[in-house]
Amino acid sequence: MELEVINPATGKVIGKVPADDNTNIERKYKAARAAQPAWQRLGLSARLEILKKFRDRVEKDIEEAALVLTRDTGKPISQSRNELKGLLARFDFFLAETETTVATETVLRDGTALVEEIEHEPLGVIANISAWNYPWFVGSNVYVPALLTGNAVLYKPSEFALLSGHLMERYLHEAGVPSGVFALVCGRGDAGAALLEQPIDGIFFTGSVATGRKIAEAAAKKFIKVQLELGGKDPAYITDDVDVKAAAEATADGAMYNTGQSCCSVERIYVHEKIYDQFVQNFVETVKSFRLGDPEQNDTYIGALTRGKAALDFLESQVTDAAKKGAKVLTGGKKAATASGVYLEPAVLTEVNHEMEIMREESFGPVIGIMKVKDDAEAQKLMNDTQYGLTAAVYCRDQNRAREILKGVNAGSAYINCCDRVSPRLPWSGRGASGVGLTLSTYGIETFTRPKAWHIRS
Ligand code: NAD
The active-site residue, picked from 97, 159, 169, 229, is: 229
Q: CA–CA separation, 202 vs 219, rounded Å? A: 9
Band of residue 437 on the pLDDT scale cut at 50, 70, 90 = very high
Say whether pLDDT at 389 is over 90: yes
Task: Please tell me the predicted confidence (pLDDT) of residue 338.
Answer: 77
Polymer length of the chain? 458
Q: What is the pTM of this model?
A: 0.97
CATH of domain 235-424: 3.40.309.10
Mean pLDDT of 30-35: 98
What residues form DSSP beta bridges with 17? Answer: 3
pLDDT tens-digit profile of 123-149? 999 999 999 999 999 999 999 999 999
Gap from CA of 204 to ligand 1 centroid (Å) = 11
Q: Whose CA is nearest to atom 9 of ligand 1?
A: 158
Please answer whether residues 320 and 349 qualify as being in contact, where contact means their C-beta atoms are separated by less than 8 angstroms: no
- Percent helix, percent strand, percent coil in the chain, to nearest 5: 45, 25, 35
Please say whether the structural domain 2-230+434-457 has been given the CATH code 3.40.605.10: yes
Q: CA–CA separation, 303 vs 345, rounded Å? A: 10
Gap from CA of 219 to ligand 1 centroid (Å) = 16
Q: Rounded mean pLDDT of the chain? A: 97
Q: Whose CA is nearest to atom 39 of ligand 1?
A: 229
Task: Please tell me the predicted confidence (pLDDT) of residue 109.
Answer: 87
Mean pLDDT of 366-377: 98
Band of residue 274 on the pLDDT scale cut at 50, 70, 90 = very high
Q: CA–CA separation, 239 vs 255, rounded Å? A: 18
Say whether pLDDT at 192 is over 90: yes
Q: CA–CA separation, 25 vs 37, rounded Å? A: 20
Say whether pLDDT at 269 is over 80: yes
Please answer whether residues 319 and 356 qualify as being in contact, where contact means their C-beta atoms are separated by less than 8 angstroms: no
Band of residue 413 on the pLDDT scale cut at 50, 70, 90 = very high
Of 225, 222, 233, nearest in space to 368 by CA: 233
Domains 2-230+434-457 and 235-424 share a fold: no
Mean pLDDT of 81-102: 98
Q: Whose CA is nearest to atom 43 of ligand 1?
A: 263
Measured CA to CA in angstroms, residue 12 lies from 37, 66, 449 at distances of: 43, 19, 43
Q: CA–CA separation, 225 vs 204, rounded Å? A: 8
DSSP code, position 292: B
Gap from CA of 108 to ligand 1 centroid (Å) = 43
Task: Please tell me the predicted confidence (pLDDT) of residue 391.
Answer: 98
Band of residue 225 on the pLDDT scale cut at 50, 70, 90 = very high
Band of residue 394 on the pLDDT scale cut at 50, 70, 90 = very high
Say whether pLDDT at 286 is over 90: yes
Measured CA to CA in angstroms, residue 136 lies from 58, 59, 90, 402 at distances of: 10, 13, 11, 32
For a pLDDT cut of 70, what percent of the chain falls above it?
100
Task: Please tell me the predicted confidence (pLDDT) of residue 449.
Answer: 98
Say whether pLDDT at 253 is over 90: yes
Task: Please tell me the predicted confidence (pLDDT) of residue 112.
Answer: 81
Q: CA–CA separation, 146 vs 150, rounded Å? A: 7
Q: Ligand 1 — pocket residues by CB below 6 A?
A: 129-134, 138, 156, 158-159, 188-189, 192-193, 196, 206-208, 211, 214-215, 229-232, 263, 362, 364, 390, 428, 430, 435
Please answer whether residues 408 and 422 qualify as being in contact, where contact means their C-beta atoms are separated by less than 8 angstroms: no
Band of residue 102 on the pLDDT scale cut at 50, 70, 90 = very high
Q: Whose CA is nearest to atom 10 of ligand 1?
A: 189
Say whether pLDDT at 210 is over 80: yes
Q: CA–CA separation, 88 vs 83, rounded Å? A: 9
Phi-psi region of 435 (alpha: psi -120 to 50; beta: other; left: phi over 0): left
Mean pLDDT of 179-199: 98
Task: Please tell me the predicted confidence (pLDDT) of residue 73.
Answer: 97
For the chain, what are the domain ranges?
2-230+434-457, 235-424
Gap from CA of 382 to ligand 1 centroid (Å) = 27
What residues form DSSP beta bridges with 269? Answer: 236, 370
Of 142, 160, 261, nearest in space to 202 by CA: 142
Q: CA–CA separation, 405 vs 419, rounded Å? A: 15
Cα dihedral: 245, 248, 251, 257 (round 10): -90
Say whether pLDDT at 317 is over 80: yes
Task: Please tell me the predicted confidence (pLDDT) of residue 1.
Answer: 86
Our measurement of the distance from residue 379's CA atom to the centroid of its chain's CA atoms, rounded to an integer in Å, reads 26
DSSP 142-160: HHHHHHHTT-EEEEE--TT
First to last CA, the chain: 60
For a pLDDT cut of 90, what percent of the chain falls above it?
97
What residues form DSSP beta bridges with 344? Answer: 335
Q: Does 49 qualify as catalytic in the annotation?
A: no
Element (H, E) at 135: helix 135-148
Of 356, 348, 347, 346, nearest in space to 326 by CA: 356
Q: Higher model confidence: residue 96 or residue 338?
A: 96
Task: Please tell me the predicted confidence (pLDDT) of residue 110.
Answer: 84
